[in-house]
Structure 1
Amino acid sequence: MPPLSYLRPAIRSAGHRARLTGRAAPGESPKLRVPLSAYVVDCAVYVDGERLPGRWTHDEAISEVRERGEGFAWIGLHEPTEDQINGIAETYGLHELAVEDAVHAHNRPKLERYDETLFMVLKTVRYVGHRDPTAATEIVETGEVMAFLGRDFVVTVRHGRHSGLRDVRRRLEEDPEQLALGPSVVLHAIADHVVDTYIDVAREIEGDIDEIEAEVFSPKSTMDPEQIYVMKREILDLRRAVMPLVGPMRKLSEGYSSLIPHDVRSYFRDVDDHLGGVAEQVAGFNELLTTLVDAVLAKISMRQNNDMRKITAYAGLISVPTMVAGVYGMNFDYMPELHWNFGYPMVLLVIAVVCGLLYRNFRRNNWL
């Protein structure tokens, strides 16, 4: 029987292969080496800005980081259930209240500090393409990204179909020098990505509002205010994503936590500046749409007034023959011109002349 020392290299090699394939190494429980679950999008370990090869479970990743005493782990989750996230929460020491928010979603953008962990919620938005903004029923689709930030880990939780972070991770991995600054860089990259989407969506919505504005003020427009209310509702969704994020972003740029190094705060200040611009733009959208609603209602009121004037004018024209017919319809024997041969044409002529004068006056006053 060979000495145990000859077997150790083989066991370590098998363990390395197990990490790459997701299978259990010799002497290990199968539960410890499992492939990434459906809700775990990616799990990686980064040291000096470089991603270590292999596939990692959440406990392996943090163990590797802490054994080395450097680097950090980044786990990406997509819509996990409470049972699915509990194991990660226990291993990484995530606060139960933050975990509950991460599972159930539908939170306002916020930043909370739990002991040595930061928990941040960001709302993601996506512009829904359409042919005509005056007939669209949905313009903005929303989702959520939550991030748990520790000294040696980042755990991101996504809700929604459009809130993927694959491109964010790829860009960071292509810039090892930036990634070497630590896990706070990941939080900055996520925030920067989300705010950039705000800018893109705001640009698209600005084009839609320009089209609606041109339609409202066109001479023969029949714009319905209901569609502007739909646009206001979509702007409100964007406003709910942008406005509450201003405070948390300002905190991160001003040294809210020691988890954000001084070198990274300047990056958050840049994101905060962009976010402030989007916030002002969204507020302007809301005010402009309110003005357009008032303009549409004013045009409707004017159109109704014109209709009422036309109805009144025609009623005045009809009242003349009605009055004459009513008088002569009383059938008295002694009435002027009853027995005159030209009495009937004379009455018709008088009616025509009076109605003509009324019509001319109504047209001159723009009632008809």
Structure 2
Amino acid sequence: MECVIYDKGSGRSELVECELPDEACRLVLKHLRGLNDDEFAWVRLVDPSEDELVQLAEELGLHPLAVEDAVHARQRPKREWFGDVLVIALKTLWYVEDETAVETGEMMVFAGPRCVLTVRHGAVDPCAEAARRLASDPDMLRHGPWAVLHAVLDVVVDAYSDAAGKVRAALNRLEDQVFSTSRVDHTASIYSLKREVREFRDAVQPLVPVVQALLSGPGGEQRQTKIGPYLRDVADHLHRTDIEVRTLDELLNSVLDAQQARVGTWQNDDMRRISAWAAIFAIPTMVAGVYGMNFEHMPELGWTYGYPLAVTLMATASGLLYRAFRRNGWL
């Protein structure tokens, strides 16, 4: 557990950190109760227990349903108001290049008048980068808890954009493989990447209306004149990433169709080759079959050059067919 106390006017910050959960809760609650009008707190939790979160929830006035969602996670991105506390659920996301996979985590943000509580599940921590950005731009702290909310959203959306670029690069490599001269079936790889993109969409698409609603919900007019421009910038970036992810999904459909078309073409090529060779071998089979019927009265049976003539006929006819099939691209 970590708690940072910010001063809106001076930009000063004080970190409260403790390894023991019970002692950390006591220290954090003590600092929260001692905040003055110019101060606000940011409490950061990672995979908290229900008891640990309930202690803070009672002090911050958090709704029990929101606390339950934060503990158990697995929430769709959403926005809810519980009194004067704004609750936002969102998904963190990162791309693992070695596995060509999109991994996701979850985060709940509770933004009240004088405190922000973030609850994270997953390996990637956007709070560390958000805290660094706030430290490098103390003027943002005049917006109070909304500055923390903006910083977290900004980091998460930037991560979305970065992951979308890496997925685009993976798709470009897959396209090059599909349209190469090698006859390798990439259907499994395409389908796997398509599943990752769908998981990407599940994180990005529901968050778009959530961020847009921040400018029009309770207190929206006030935010329009204060932190509104920053939130609109996040909304624009998120909207652009949403369009990019939708485009990637559509491109994967096209690549999958192209792969299936190529597989069909390969099968047709194989069938033409098989048919061509079957036709070539049919002529010797036919001639040999005719001369193997052993009738007593057949032309050329007693002729000295009958056998060489039959072999020559077989070879000539087969050669002419082979040349015709080669010229037509069947062989």
Scaled by the length of structure 2, what TM-score is found? Answer: 0.91
Please tell me whether the aligned partners of residues 3 and 15 of structure 2 are also in contact (alpha carbons under 8 angstroms). Answer: no
- Compare 232-241 and 171-180 and name the one that shifted more: 171-180
Structure 1 vs Structure 2: percent identity of aligned residues? 43
Match of 1:78 among 46, 57, 65: 46
SS in 2 for 1:180: helix
Which residue of structure 1 lines up, in the alignment, with residue 133 of structure 2? 171
- Compare 217-226 and 180-189 and name the one that shifted more: 217-226
Q: What CA distance in whole angstroms lies between the structure 2 residues aligned with 1:215 and 1:184?
A: 47
1:1-368 alignment runs, 5 A limit: 40=1, 42-48=2-8, 49-52=11-14, 57-65=27-35, 68-130=36-98, 137-220=99-182, 222-254=184-216, 256-258=217-219, 261-262=223-224, 263-368=226-331
Q: What CA distance in whole angstroms lies between the structure 2 residues aligned with 1:314 and 1:53?
A: 80
Q: What CA distance in whole angstroms lies between the structure 2 residues aligned with 1:284 and 1:63?
A: 49
Q: What CA distance in whole angstroms lies between the structure 2 residues aligned with 1:82 and 1:358?
A: 80
Alpha-carbon distance, 1:222 to partner: 2.4
- Compare 201-210 and 276-285 and name the one that shifted more: 201-210
- Report the residue type matching 2:219 in the other structure: S
- Report the residue type matching 1:214 in the other structure: D
SS in 1 for 2:119: strand
Which residue of structure 1 lines up, in the alignment, with residue 21 of structure 2? none
Alpha-carbon distance, 1:329 to partner: 2.1
Moved over 6 A (4+): none
Count of residues in Structure 1 that have an aligned counterpart in Structure 2: 319
- Structure 1's unaligned 5+ residue stretches are 1-39, 131-136
Structure 1 vs Structure 2 CA RMSD: 1.8
State the Cα deviation string for residues 278-334 of structure 1 (Å, max 9, x = none). Answer: 111111111111111111111111111011000001001111111222222222222
- Structure 2's unaligned 5+ residue stretches are 18-23
SS in 1 for 2:206: helix
Q: What CA distance in whole angstroms lies between the structure 1 residues aligned with 2:94 and 2:15?
A: 33
**Pair 54,361 (structure 1): closer, same or farther in 2 beyond 3 Å:** closer
State the Cα deviation string for residues 190-244 of structure 1 (Å, max 9, x = none). Answer: 0011001111111122222222222222233525111111111111121111111
Alpha-carbon distance, 1:359 to partner: 1.3
Q: What CA distance in whole angstroms lies between the structure 1 residues aligned with 2:318 and 2:278?
A: 11
Please tell me whether the aligned partners of residues 4 and 41 of structure 2 are also in contact (alpha carbons under 8 angstroms). Answer: yes
Q: For the pair shown, which has the larger CA radius of gyration, 1 or 2?
A: 1
Alpha-carbon distance, 1:102 to partner: 0.8
- Report the residue type matching 2:255 in the other structure: L
- Compare 217-226 and 198-207 and name the one that shifted more: 217-226
SS in 2 for 1:165: helix
**Pair 149,53 (structure 1): closer, same or farther in 2 beyond 3 Å:** closer
- Report the residue type matching 1:340 in the other structure: W
Q: What CA distance in whole angstroms lies between the structure 2 residues aligned with 1:196 and 1:310?
A: 53
- Compare 148-157 and 175-184 and name the one that shifted more: 175-184
